[in-house]
Structure formats: structure tokens, C-alpha cells
Structure 1
Amino acid sequence: MDIWDIIWLFFWSYVFIAYLTVLFSVLADIFRDPGLSGWAKALWVLFLVFVPIITAVVYIGTRGSDRVQSLPATDASAPRNAARSAASMGSVDEIAKAQKLLDTGSTTADEYAALTVKARGY
């Protein structure tokens, strides 16, 4: 077996796996879409069986843009919200520790108030 035979084998294996990925993605999208009737789904699947490559390209071209527009927009503030959430969990722990100190009599009410203000970041 020549090296070029191995390269061609890898190339066509990659193409076949990519084809199967697109085919199953289109099938999943067809059956997940509540806007399509049962007959429309059956027709798309029928075309995918008999003319798979052309049907997949047509489906992605006609219905793919509708699916992309219906996706929710990404929230740019999500990392900040996650950081605030983690910080608030830390502040909850700090407030709980301050409450324990107050309950045991190790701190006064004024020191407790100062600790809670500090923990909340005000």
C-alpha cells in the first residue's frame, strides 16, 4: 500500500464523517422544528434519502437562516454576572461567619454591621 493510498483513505474518511454529521444534524433539526407539519417532515426525509447532498444544501440554505435568527442572543454580561454570583456566595459565607462571631459574643453589633457592609462590598 502506497502512502498516497493512505492519504486518500484519510481524506475520504474525513469527507464521509463530515457528510454523516451534516446529514444527522439536518435530520435532528427537521424533527426538532415544531413549525413543520408531519407531511413536510416526511417529505424532507424522503428527499434526504434519495438525493441527500442536494437536499442537505437546499435545507441549510432555505431553513438554516431561520434557525440562526431564532437563537437567543448571547449575553455579554454573563461573565460579570457569574463573577458577581461567585462573589455573593463568598459574601454570604463572610456574613455567616460574622453572625457566628456576634452569636458567640466575640464582636459587638457595630462590628457585625461593619463586617456585613464590608462583605457586601458597599
Structure 2
Amino acid sequence: METDVILAYDYPLLGAFWTTMWIFLWVLWIFLLFRIITDIFRDDALGGWGKTAWLVFVLVLPFLGVFVYLLARGKNMGAREVQHARARQEEVDAYIRRTAGAVGRPLSETEELARLSEIRARGDLSEEEFQRAKEKILH
């Protein structure tokens, strides 16, 4: 009953390094492939047939397709990503403005004076402080 037992020290350090490197490169390749597929669908300047052709090219011949895509359209990938991020940020800002309503807008002079009068009526502000604040608002 003789069996070969593979122990950790039977696997050389350089072999472990190469295995780790290949796994890292494979994961990097998958991320790059998904990034390019996302860029294909995100590009509004590219028509439906163009998107289909690039997608088929990238999926059928992945290595060649990705390299050709990066050479042909890779220069503007960053610009498209920035444009998409800005559009998303504008949507979020518009949503916040709609949801928050008038909370974030600056007060008009009359609203500030009314608020100042309320503070004075509560007794939190002296007459002299009220006059200085009023002058500051009106000038």
C-alpha cells in the first residue's frame, strides 16, 4: 500500500510564485474583460450594430478582441467613465434637491429679518445686537 503523499515542501517556492502570478493575471484579465463590456454598453456614440460587433468580437476572440478594443477605443474609456460619473452625481444632486426642498436654499432678506425678530422676541438677542445684525443684512 504505497501512495505518494505531496507535502507543502514538495511544491517549490518558485512554483507557488508562478501559480499565484497566473491566478492574479487571470483575475485581472476577467476584470478587464468586464470593464470593456461595460464600456461597450455605456458608450452612447456607438450604435447598436457597432456594440453588437464589438461584443461578439470580445467574447468570441477574447484576447485579440480586448487588445484591439483597447487600441481602437481605449483612449476615450476614461473620458466616458468620467462623463458617466458626472451624470450619476448630477442625478443624485437633483434627487437631494427635490427631496430636501427649500432647506438648502439661502434665505431672502425678509426671511432673515423675520428670523432675527423672532430671536429678539424670545429675548436671546439684545436690541443693540439686533440693530447690528439688521444693518449687516440690509447692506
Which band: TM-score by shorter chain? 0.5 to 0.7
Identical-residue share of aligned pairs (%) = 23
Note the alpha carbon deviations across 1:62-105, whole angstroms, 9 max, x for none.
21223434545xxxxxxxxxxxxxxxx9xx9xx9x977642312
Whether 1:6 and 2:16 are equivalent positions in the alignment is: yes
* Aligned equivalent of 2:90: none
Q: TM-score, normalised by structure 2?
A: 0.55
Which of 35, 41, 62 is residue 45 of structure 2 equivalent to? 35
Superposed displacement of residue 110, structure 1: 3.2
Q: Report which structure shows greater RCO (CA 8 Å, sep ≥6).
A: 1
- CA–CA separation in structure 2 for the residues paired with 1:104 and 1:19: 67
* Aligned equivalent of 1:77: none
The root-mean-square deviation of aligned C-alpha atoms, in Å, is 3.2
* Unaligned 5+ runs, structure 1: 73-88
Whether 1:104 and 2:122 are equivalent positions in the alignment is: yes
- CA–CA separation in structure 2 for the residues paired with 1:116 and 1:17: 65
* Aligned equivalent of 2:57: 47
Relative distance call for 1:33 and 1:106 in structure 2 (3 A) is closer
Relative distance call for 1:23 and 1:117 in structure 2 (3 A) is farther
* Aligned equivalent of 1:58: 68
Count of residues paired in the alignment: 99
* Aligned equivalent of 2:88: none
- CA–CA separation in structure 2 for the residues paired with 1:68 and 1:34: 14
Larger radius of gyration: 2
* Unaligned 5+ runs, structure 2: 1-10, 84-103
Q: TM-score, normalised by structure 1?
A: 0.61
**Structure 1 residues 30-39 or 12-21, which shifts more?**
30-39
